[in-house]
Structure 1
Amino acid sequence: MFGLTGRCKCGLALSLVLSACCVFLFCEYGIYFPAILRCSWPEIKQSEDSPRPLRALFLSDPHLLGAIRGHWFDKLRREWQMERAFQTAMWLLRPEMVFILGDVFDEGKWSSPKDWEDDVRRFKQIFRHPSDTELVVLIGNHDIGFHHEMTRYKLERFEKVFNVTSARILTKRGVNFLLVNSVALHGDHCPICQSVENELYSLSQALNCSTQSHHSGSMRHRCKDMQTYISTPPIILQHYPLYRASDAECTGVDAAPPNERYQHFHERYDVLSQDASKMLLWWFQPRLILSGHTHSGCEVLHENHIPEISVPSFSWRNRNNPSFILGSFSQSDYALSKCFLPEESSVIAVYCGSAMALALITLGHLSLFRGALHTANVLLGKQKSL
């Protein structure tokens, strides 16, 4: 009898361990697959002889924690979530390009050279990608500091690691992406700001020359030595959103919570200034703008019905329901869709529910064991009395 009871206890322990392992594997690995399998690339209308659309994935504000404010468990939990989400998306969706819209790091604005190297190492581990996928990283205020914290050293450190500049046009399969260091659009003529504005003006002139099919003599002379681009309006990518008063008009499950939605935005801190926003719209007449920074989703229409999409944070640390955007692009059209990751509260609920279920099963089996032992002792006692 005691041997049977021991075997039952061993079987129960093994079942509990296997069940706990299954729950762990589901919550840490498997849960990302059904979430991302619900996502698909949006379709755009094209003629049969047109090149296939460019497929790009957009995410924002990972905020990899640094050495000063980052607790080790917080780092482990949130960075593991981002790594599994990103790697699962790479495997299932196979984007041709990935854009990260700034605030890659949380403490890039004050990290030491040693801490910076550690942050970059962790970034490369989390966001590793196939060789046929191009990863483009934009500059955010936490990467180099807000305007008053921004220095040439921190800017060049970031540009060197990620092979970016503060203003450039990246053309891929006939689609122009304008990459902007929006932290430098403060408008106070600081050396970095002035350099970025001058470069943006030159790019706007080059795009203007590229889109003009017939030039007058003076225009032809002015455009003679300029670099030419595909004749299509650009898609602006940057960290700060263009100016808007608040998120009051934002809707959807990933919009800012009601207690934050009506708070007034501060120019040059929460959003670009009105002057900088008008400058970008006038100079480039983009067909789409994608930005980050607010950690919440939003869609607004600027003048001439130019749409801007604010991409929510990719990290559980900043929101319960992170997401990313899938985009299909051609020279004349585009389509976007949003892909939501598992909610952190759901994962916690699965862990808590599973722990309670296993605890109840254990208690139930222990009660049965005690009952069986009591019955066995009674029977043994009767046999001895006989």
Structure 2
Amino acid sequence: MARFGVRWLLAAVLMLLLGGAFFFCEYLIYFPAILKCAWPRVEHARGGGGEGIDGRPPDSPPVRAMVLSDTHLLGAVGGHWFDKLRREWQMERAFQTALWLLRPEVVFILGDIFDEGKWSSKQNWEDDVRRFHRMFRHSGDTELVVLVGNHDIGFHYEMDWFKLQRFEKVFNASSTRMVTKNGVNFLLVNTVALHGDGCPICQAVEKELIRLSKDLNCSLQSSGDGCGGTQVYPPTPPIMLQHYPLYRVSDAGCTGTDAAPPGERHLLFREKYDVLSKEASQRLLQWFKPRLILSGHTHSGCEVLHDNKYPEVSVPSFSWRNRNNPSFILASVSPGSYALSKCFLPEESTVINVYTSTGGCLVLLVLVHCLWMKGLLQCLSLCLLGKHKSL
């Protein structure tokens, strides 16, 4: 009976270790990581008479925007079922934990939502969309704004009206537009369509950008020739959000734990594939003169200053399939200023180490138990043999 009691005790210990490791790695691990993150403080720009530059009280709280990129939900063609299950679970738990702890007003996802949107069938597309809405569910207090990426509608040579409109219908908005919140202008740019070859989609997007540029410039000037009938926006330069980064030669100048690996930083970027072309980049800067650019696509972090006055921050991939250390940006934005901080998620290597250590402990306990039981049996045998000889 004692032997069975020891076995039950061992089984309970093993189950407790295994269950504890699973609960920690799949649920709890996101809390200490995200609890380290906080919204950065921003100084409000004040105008004359004690008012903010948009007429709001100067003590109005800034917009709290959470920015992530390149979720790459795996599709039915190239996605292995376990890889899909694992990555989607990680992103769902990280996103839901971040919403609960940080409570952003708006969440921006900078494109490449799906991995196979460029070729997925109607049924596969609907399945991908259903899973996205489950993973990134949110309350009415948080607005989710999604940008288009090359994996969502294809690179320029794969892009067509059907795929673009399918994407826009799911997210109920044009892929190029201005989103205004509390006096802050967020400009969303469909950079996949800035190829510059005069394709129909490219022409439509550039026409919309020119219109938005005119509306914004007229709003900044308050009045001017040719400004009749324009849309009025808060008079402040926009935060520009897009999938492709503006043109840069490489990531050679990028630093930090989320930058590209050292062996890849000096690889030259290809225009219209890795980054926007020089011409498209300069047009965007001239049209909008943004105070900040946030981009994705490279899967790595980087900070670049264009023309010595236009800062750009590349946001790393949110998926553990692309990075060992995914992260997202916390942005506090007022009409006259902004502040950014980066929130790092648990590293995949940490999870692997916890599971490996737990497995090693389980094996060690089983071996100790077997050796102990073997010694106990030998002891009992010797005792019984001794009694038999004495008789």
Give the TM-score normalised by structure 1. 0.97
Match of 2:79 in 1: 70
Match of 2:329 in 1: 325
Counterpart residue type for residue 366 of structure 1: C
Match of 2:15 in 1: 17
Match of 1:272 in 2: 276
Counterpart residue type for residue 31 of structure 1: I
User: Contact 1:138 / 1:164 at 8 angstroms: preserved in 2?
Assistant: no
Q: Please tell me whether residue 365 in structure 1 is matched to residue 363 in structure 2.
A: no
Q: Secondary structure at the match of 1:45?
A: coil
Query: What is the Cα deviation at residue 304 of structure 1?
Result: 4.2
Query: What is the Cα deviation at residue 113 of structure 1?
Result: 0.2
Match of 1:210 in 2: 219
Counterpart residue type for residue 209 of structure 2: L
> Which of 283, 295, 299 matches 1:295?
299
Match of 1:142 in 2: 151
Match of 2:243 in 1: 239
Query: What is the Cα deviation at residue 28 of structure 1?
Result: 0.7
Q: Secondary structure at the match of 1:178?
A: strand
**CA–CA distance in 2 between the matches of 1:89 and 1:74?**
22
Counterpart residue type for residue 117 of structure 2: G
Aligned length: 379
Query: What is the Cα deviation at residue 245 of structure 1?
Result: 0.5
Query: What is the Cα deviation at residue 311 of structure 1?
Result: 0.2
**CA–CA distance in 2 between the matches of 1:320 and 1:238?**
24
Query: What is the Cα deviation at residue 214 of structure 1?
Result: 4.7
Moved more, 89-98 or 39-48: 39-48
Query: What is the Cα deviation at residue 49 of structure 1?
Result: 4.2
**CA–CA distance in 1 between the matches of 2:208 and 2:308?**
24
> Which of 346, 353, 359 matches 1:355?
359
Give the TM-score normalised by structure 2. 0.95
Counterpart residue type for residue 310 of structure 2: I
**CA–CA distance in 2 between the matches of 1:49 and 1:253?**
36
**CA–CA distance in 1 between the matches of 2:87 and 2:175?**
29
Moved more, 355-364 or 187-196: 355-364
Query: What is the Cα deviation at residue 164 of structure 1?
Result: 2.3
User: Contact 1:180 / 1:238 at 8 angstroms: preserved in 2?
Assistant: yes
Q: Please tell me whether residue 97 in structure 1 is matched to residue 101 in structure 2.
A: no
Structure 2: stretches of 5+ with no match in the other structure: 47-56
CA pair 214-112 structure 1, distance change in 2 beyond 3 A = closer
Q: Please tell me whether residue 36 in structure 1 is matched to residue 40 in structure 2.
A: no
1:41-52 correspondence to structure 2 within 5 Å: 41-46=39-44, 49-52=58-61
Q: Please tell me whether residue 57 in structure 1 is matched to residue 66 in structure 2.
A: yes
Identity %: 65
**CA–CA distance in 1 between the matches of 2:176 and 2:356?**
48
Q: Secondary structure at the match of 2:264?
A: helix
**CA–CA distance in 2 between the matches of 1:164 and 1:247?**
32
Q: Deviations over 1:329-377 (max 9, x none)?
A: 1000100000001111111111111101121122112211111111112
**CA–CA distance in 1 between the matches of 2:203 and 2:235?**
27
Match of 2:94 in 1: 85
Match of 1:6 in 2: 4
Match of 1:224 in 2: 228
Q: Deviations over 1:214-235 (max 9, x none)?
A: 53xxx1xx21211100000000
Match of 1:108 in 2: 117
RMSD: 1.0
